[in-house]
Amino acid sequence: MSEQSSMDAALRKRLYWHSRRGMWELDLLLIPFLEQCYDALSEADQAAYRSLIDEEDQDLFAWLMRREWPEEPVRRRIVQMIVEHAEHPDSAAHRPV
C-alpha cells in the first residue's frame, strides 16, 4: 500500500467517524452521502463537506431537515447536495432499515 493510499484510507475513516452523529436522522443522511457521493465531488465540495461535519448537531439537523438554510453559499450548496441525494429515489435502496 502506497503512502498516498494509506493517507486516503485514514481520511476516509476519519470522515466516516465524524459523519456518524448522535442523531439517527443525521446518520441516515450523512453516511450514505459520504459513501455514495463524496469521491465524485470536486475538491471544493469535498472541503465543504469536511467543514460541514465539524458543525454542531443541532445546526446540521436544522439545515438537513430544511428548517433553515446556512447563510454561507458554500455551506448551503453542500447541504442542498446532501438533501437532494437523500430525496433521490435511487438513494432509498442504500438506506439502512
Task: Please give the share of the chain, as a percent, with pLDDT higher than 90.
Answer: 75
Kindly state the average pLDDT of the residues 84-96. 71
Q: Is the pLDDT of residue 97 over 50?
A: no
Query: What does the pLDDT look like over 41-85, one tens digit per residue?
Result: 999 999 999 999 999 999 999 999 999 999 999 999 999 999 999
| C-alpha torsion sign, points 26, 83, 93, 51 | negative
Q: Which residues contact 41 (CB under 8 A, 6 or more apart)?
A: 49, 81
- pTM to 2 decimals? 0.84
Stretch 23-51: mean pLDDT, rounded?
A: 96
